Amino acid sequence: MRNVHTFILSLLLLCLSACALLPHRDPLNINVVGIQPLQSQDMEMRFAVKIRVQNPNDTTLTYNGVALDLDINGQPFASGVSDQTGSIERFSETVLSVPVSVSTFSMLRQTLGLSQVQTLNNMPYVLRGKLAGGLFGTMRFVDSGKLSLPGPTTGSR
């Protein structure tokens, strides 16, 4: 019985020391830089969400998939995935484009939640996602802010 306890304790200590050997990574810096409409299907709208991904780490980040969830005004709005692969070099950045789908029901929920004086401009959003990178290489991220939609332009100087 004593040998079993010694084995379990040794295994536990080995697992804890293995975690210390994993490289520490700073979180990615993610910013939404654009949303473009895509061809829609029946009961859904499609958009390409462009995100700028900055790697503040001293190692290259390799990814083999991207997943996004977009909430607007505290409500789920859109989600999407992409099987794109690539790498982001140490201390560099790239822009990724991920197609997302918005169901008609999500669009109606957002529209009905707005009063007549509110618009989508300055509406709070939260973008959650992950860059898949294998068992220990997946990096999760969150970006939040307020929607900034372009207003009408005027010809005055």
Residue 80 lies in a domain: yes
Residue 153 lies in a domain: no
Residue 152 lies in a domain: no
The residue that leads in pLDDT, 56 or 17, is 56
Query: So what's the pLDDT on residue 111?
Result: 66
Residue 74 lies in a domain: yes
Its pTM stands at: 0.71
Q: What value does the mean pLDDT of the chain take?
A: 80
Q: Is 63 exposed, middle or buried (0-12, 13-18, 19+ CB in 10 A)?
A: buried
Give 20's Cβ-side CA count (13 Å radius). 6
Residue 14 lies in a domain: no
Which of 13-17, 49-53, 98-102 has the lowest average pLDDT?
13-17
Residue 106 lies in a domain: yes
Q: Is 112 exposed, middle or buried (0-12, 13-18, 19+ CB in 10 A)?
A: exposed
Q: Strand pairing partners for 16? A: none
**Residue 135 DSSP class:** T
Residue 63 lies in a domain: yes
- Is it the case that residue 13 has pLDDT exceeding 80? no
Residue 62 lies in a domain: yes
Enumerate residues 6+ apart whose C-beta is below 8 A from 139: 25, 27, 28, 61, 63, 130, 131, 133
- Residue 35's domain is classified under what CATH number? 2.60.40.10
Q: How far apart are CA 107 and CA 19, in angstroms?
A: 44
Q: Which domain holds residue 74?
A: 24-143
Q: How far apart are CA 49 and CA 36, in angstroms?
A: 7
Which band of pLDDT confidence, cut at 50, 70 and 90, is reported for residue 109? low
Q: How far apart are CA 64 and CA 99, in angstroms?
A: 16
Structurally, how many domains does the chain consist of?
1
